[in-house]
Structure 1
Amino acid sequence: MSRALRICWIALLGSVALCHASVQIEWREAKPEDVPTAALAARPEAPPASMPETFRRPVSCRQNTDKIKRALFVFETDAADAGGTVGYEAELDARGELVGTWKPLPPPSVDGTPAQTYRLTGETVLPMGHQHLLLPARDAAGAPKLLAYHTVTTKWFELGDVPGGAWSAPPVLLPDSDSSFLLCQRDGATSGPCWRARLVRTERFSPINYVVLAVYIACLLIAAAVMMVRSRRQQQSADSYFKGDGKLPWWAVGVSIYAAMFSAISLIAGPAVSYLLNWSYFTVVLSKLLIVPIIAGYYLPFFRRLNLTSAYEYLEARFNLACRLFASAAFSGFMLFRAALVVFLPALAVSEIAAIPLDTTIIGLTVISVLYCISGGIKGIVWGDFYQGIILIASIAVTVAILIAGTDGGWSGFFSIAREHNKFDVFNFSWDLTAPVFWVMLIGGFVSNLNSYTSDQCVLQRFMTTKDERSAVRSILFCIAITFISGPLLYTIGTGLFTYFSSHPERLDVTIAKNDAIFPVFIATGLPPGVGGLLLASIFAATLTTLAANLNATATALTTDFYLRFQREKVSDAKLVAWGKGLTIIGGIIALGLALLFAHADIQSMQETFYKFLGILTSGITGLFLLGMFAPRVGGSAAVLGLIVNYVVCFTLAFCPLPWKPHLMLYGVAGLIACLVTALLASLVWPNRKPTNGWVWTKRA
């Protein structure tokens, strides 16, 4: 099997070599006035006394590592031979203080062969991008070279020759820009010979990939135009626009729920986390098994029989208008925030892959998504989700096969490298609540999934699009089944990225600015023509489905909870649909503005950022639905008080400097518990006086 996959891999690549540098250096001599005097006179950070040994000429710097941590790196650049300890690293805490034990670094060699060993010679070490360190060295023949060390895979590779011939003193590396640096000889505070290096990508996105992507976008625009024409001819009703007439098949709705919950956050940031960490976040997927009985047995039948357009109509009937408006506004705010994040990630991918400006990509994606969303309402979105969901799963499976085939040793090499670096670790049963251990991820994942599947208008709206309750149950079961197919594949992509770049570290872009760009880097450098275009189309699909779902659900909530709620006269279907489309466009503009802001912000792990804000912003809404359905004693006043305490707890944990904090996956858990306990205690003082017939759960609902 391994041999067959490798043959397929080589056949797909054709004449493209498997191993060549992703970037090359362009050197040009720099003028003395171009050299920053202050940087030249600066000395590296002195190594702490806790180091295991004393180096003759230590150089040090700080850089990101795996486990989403930063570390202090110290290298010996005046070793008598190449066989001694080359250096150490130690983990840093959020304040920059040493907290970890010193770990020895691997010797600078390529492929581990004696003929390709190096001796470090520079006076400085230069952090480059998000995960690399650059150091001058000499090879076994004494020729000056520039080496790169990748802090995640702990691999060395040669970037190229160093110009200038023989150096009378050890060279100094100085920062210049995100993709360039200076190499100088230092004589005190003055500069000797100096060269400016510019790092240039050696690979470009194939024209075939652009053709595949263009065909995909053209098909989307044609589909949107057809749906728009059909909706005008048929004079689309509000029930059809917001609920699809309740006639959609369960299997299409199941794929649509999966696609709505799936996004570029899952496709890009998910593998990036398993690439850096391990499979610990897969426990979040496993926790979905715990919510299936709750959704199928309680929530789904309950809301199906209420037959509401907006889920938040229920909160007014059960509690009061304030709960409805607050929950709807909070949900809409979170959806727009999520939409902005969802747009940013594929824009980052396109920027890395195709060298299209980031802002241009964000604008283009948002415009296409808004047109797609307003053209056919929820019915068009569900069918679009169905076809694009199939493309997503197929692309993920193909990517896994290519990554494993490209790893040294194929399948056996993939498992060997991954096991050596503990990349398959899932079940860490430690009780450390500050780390992503099993219990933290299981409980935090359970609450996160409960938030998404029981209080999210995107999901609840789709429950109403099937013909009956049984079909709705089938749709959610089908969605969970698909998740358990795609989930392991996504985490395998992250592990495959680690094993692939461990085998071919020279294919990494040393200027990569964010870890979330690691998968796009592979798409640009590791995939054959056509396949890269298909995968980029999958990223567009993930963005389109989620963004369209977010905007449509936001428009539905705002139209129903704010516009229609305060109309004294009956509003025509045409006017409701017009309001829904108008709010979709406004929501798209707001999401576009936020995405442009996020594009220039320092966000290192979108996966963790997403789970953090999911817990903070939605756990209180989940608490309201739980109290409404299962706590008849709790009235509107107690519910509002519980909601307030929830947000106080969540925002304190997230943004206040505390001496101890749990892992971010537990922020929403703490907020939900605070909401429930506060509301139940408050109900002892302010019990519910409102009739609850039909608004609390019973066996007959």
Structure 2
Amino acid sequence: MNNLRLLDLAIIALYLVAMIAVGVYFARKNKNPEQYSSASGTIPGWAIGLSIYATFLSSNTFLGVPGKAFGTNWNAFVFSISMPLAAWVAARYFVPFYRSTGEISAYTHLEKRFGSWARTYAVVCFLLTQLARIGSIFFGIALTLQALTGFSMEMIMLVTGVCIIIYTVLGGIEAVIWTEVVQGVIKTFGALLILYLIIENMPGGVGKVVEIGQQNGKFSLGGFAPDFTQSTFWVVLLYGFFINLNNFGVDQNYVQRYHTATSAKQAAKSIWLCVWLYLPASLLFFVIGSALFAYYQVHPELIEAVKLKVAAERLPLTATAAQISQTASQLLPSDYGDKVMPHFMVTKIPTGFVGLIVSAILSAAMSTISSGMNASATVFTADIYERYWNTKLTGRQMMRALHLGTVVVGLLGMGTGIAMIGIKSVLDVWWELSGIFAAGMLGLFLLAVISRQTSNHEALTATIIGVLVILWMTFSASLPDNLVVLRNPLHKSMIIVVGTLTIFLLGLLLTRLRRNRLAVGATHNEVQQTA
């Protein structure tokens, strides 16, 4: 059933048309690959900062974070707290490095340091990360619009995906950045509007939200004990630092933006602008989740429809109403957290405002997807097509490769989103997949940048062992009970921490051992010559 009024539909349609129009407008300027991929270095730092902020503020944040806060607490907010330290490292070391190389791809340097295998490995990790990110975002937007329109999630992903592909293919990175500037403002306004409407409908207002939140531990940042088997404060802090360092320092989505800035100083400023915008914005979404929890504690009858729907999805089609009702009564808030905000929008937000908020959610999805598509197309063209198939691409051929790469990544991302239908928490899935794919890439890159003495052989050995560790930590949970001693005892968020450190530290150790052997050999030769 379609729950959107004509005015809401008109606002959403107008927004989609406007995004395509932006792509058409910037298409006139994209006459060469440099303009398409880096805007020829003409974008001001504040616009890049807003663009990075909008990329962080994806639909995973818009829907997944309130769902997480509704189902558990504010433990995931520690991820945001870790951002300033990662930003400092990136602004101090990575931005000047990338600007000095002049390479549009973040991974070209790996081949110069360790050979083609390193570049190819990082590219594969990056592309898998992007598919996971784009798929989870497609899933999140489809989850919301299905509740509002009644259309199938597959149809919603197809329609929104086509619109995103069109304006990204036409407009290039400049269209992506300037639309993200607008989208960042729309998203923030939409979140503030949702919070206002929740509080407006809440008996007792803010005071009641705080009271219920405190009673149910909703504001907890997690335990502070040194326990790395649970999602404690320290586990999320470590996970957040390594993921954010990967984002700011290694991810092509962000590295490519540094090249669009007028100077290295402007690029560094863009990182800090993103951090100081995202910290309060992410807190806002946790507040929304806690406010929704309090609202439905006061009005538990208003959430029954969501619980019944989730219960029905978990049971066979032949299940009776009594069985569905019994299963619904046993559900925990974490079982249906992602569906709460769409439900509130359907039932409590006035006509017209729904269209604005859906446009905000669409903008959250479109900004991250479009930037991921553009970055992936750049990596595909520079690191795969041009590297292995055609080393002498003309400008026109490179533009065709960029356009084709954008379309292919968009279609694969939609397929990934469709494959995710039925998952419990979109934020959990994204965190787990990104940690797995990013761990090896970040460890190898740190080894390349920090240790100038590490050789190709040592880096390859460290990477192979690191990948084996990552695979063990990821899949050992499925080992049979008689092999329980071989299971990974750490929390899954520690995969990127352990994987990154394994590659980096093992590479340093192997380098040190080689240098010691060479020193001993040199000393031995000197002794023999003296004798």
TM over 0.5: yes
Contact 2:57 2:278 in 1 (8 A): no
Instruction: Please give the residue correspondences for 1:108-507 in structure 2 after superposition, counting only pairs within 5 Å.
Output: 204-228=3-27, 230-231=28-29, 236-426=31-221, 428-507=223-302
Instruction: Please give the residue correspondences for 1:530-679 in structure 2 after superposition, counting only pairs within 5 Å.
Output: 530-566=352-388, 570-599=392-421, 602-657=422-477, 658=484, 659=487, 661-679=489-507
Q: Which residue of 1 aligns with 2:347?
A: 525
Closer, same or farther: CA 648–660 of 1 in aligned 2, 3 Å = closer
1:159-180 deviation per Cα after TM superposition (whole angstroms, max 9, x unaligned): xxxxxxxxxxxxxxxxxxxxxx
* 1:511 has 2:308 as partner: yes
Closer, same or farther: CA 500–240 of 1 in aligned 2, 3 Å = same
1:671 maps to a residue whose letter is G
CA distance in 1, matches of 2:391, 2:111: 20
Structure 1's unaligned 5+ residue stretches are 1-200, 689-701
1:259 maps to a residue whose letter is A
Contact 1:282 1:426 in 2 (8 A): yes
1:668-690 deviation per Cα after TM superposition (whole angstroms, max 9, x unaligned): 111111112222233346679xx
Task: Return the offset for 1:227.
Answer: 2.7
1:109-148 deviation per Cα after TM superposition (whole angstroms, max 9, x unaligned): xxxxxxxxxxxxxxxxxxxxxxxxxxxxxxxxxxxxxxxx
CA distance in 2, matches of 1:381, 1:254: 13
CA distance in 1, matches of 2:474, 2:347: 37
Contact 1:405 1:411 in 2 (8 A): no
Larger Rg: 1
CA distance in 2, matches of 1:505, 1:639: 56
CA distance in 1, matches of 2:61, 2:460: 33
Task: Return the offset for 1:540.
Answer: 0.8
Contact 2:99 2:258 in 1 (8 A): yes
1:193-228 deviation per Cα after TM superposition (whole angstroms, max 9, x unaligned): xxxxxxxx8x93333222221221121222223333
Closer, same or farther: CA 679–606 of 1 in aligned 2, 3 Å = same
Contact 2:132 2:430 in 1 (8 A): no
CA distance in 2, matches of 1:404, 1:643: 51
Contact 2:86 2:242 in 1 (8 A): no
2:465 maps to a residue whose letter is V
CA distance in 2, matches of 1:350, 1:367: 16
Identity of aligned residues (%): 27
Task: Return the offset for 1:415.
Answer: 1.1
> Alignment partner of 1:342: what SS?
helix
CA distance in 2, matches of 1:352, 1:644: 45
Runs of 4+ aligned structure 1 residues displaced above 6 Å come to none
Give the total of aligned pairs: 481
Which segment drifts farther, 571-580 or 275-284? 571-580
1:674 maps to a residue whose letter is T
Higher helix share: 2
Q: Which residue of 1 aligns with 2:510?
A: 682
CA distance in 2, matches of 1:273, 1:365: 25
Scaled by the length of structure 2, the TM-score of the pair is 0.87
Higher strand share: 1
1:13-51 deviation per Cα after TM superposition (whole angstroms, max 9, x unaligned): xxxxxxxxxxxxxxxxxxxxxxxxxxxxxxxxxxxxxxx
> Alignment partner of 2:104: what SS?
coil
Task: Return the offset for 1:430.
Answer: 2.1
CA distance in 1, matches of 2:93, 2:276: 19
Contact 1:637 1:686 in 2 (8 A): no
Q: Which residue of 1 aligns with 2:328?
A: none
Structure 2's unaligned 5+ residue stretches are 311-335, 478-483, 517-531
Closer, same or farther: CA 686–566 of 1 in aligned 2, 3 Å = farther
1:549 maps to a residue whose letter is S
CA distance in 2, matches of 1:568, 1:416: 64
> Alignment partner of 1:571: what SS?
coil
1:209 maps to a residue whose letter is D
Contact 2:24 2:171 in 1 (8 A): no
Which segment drifts farther, 338-347 or 207-216? 207-216
Q: Which residue of 2 aligns with 1:165?
A: none
Task: Return the offset for 1:531.
Answer: 1.5
Q: Which residue of 2 aligns with 1:193?
A: none
Contact 2:77 2:221 in 1 (8 A): yes
1:482-537 deviation per Cα after TM superposition (whole angstroms, max 9, x unaligned): 11121110111111110111122222223342432221111111211111211111
CA distance in 1, matches of 2:286, 2:402: 37
Higher RCO structure, 1 or 2 (CA under 8 Å, sep 6+): 2
Scaled by the length of structure 1, the TM-score of the pair is 0.66
> Alignment partner of 1:464: what SS?
helix
> Alignment partner of 2:163: what SS?
helix
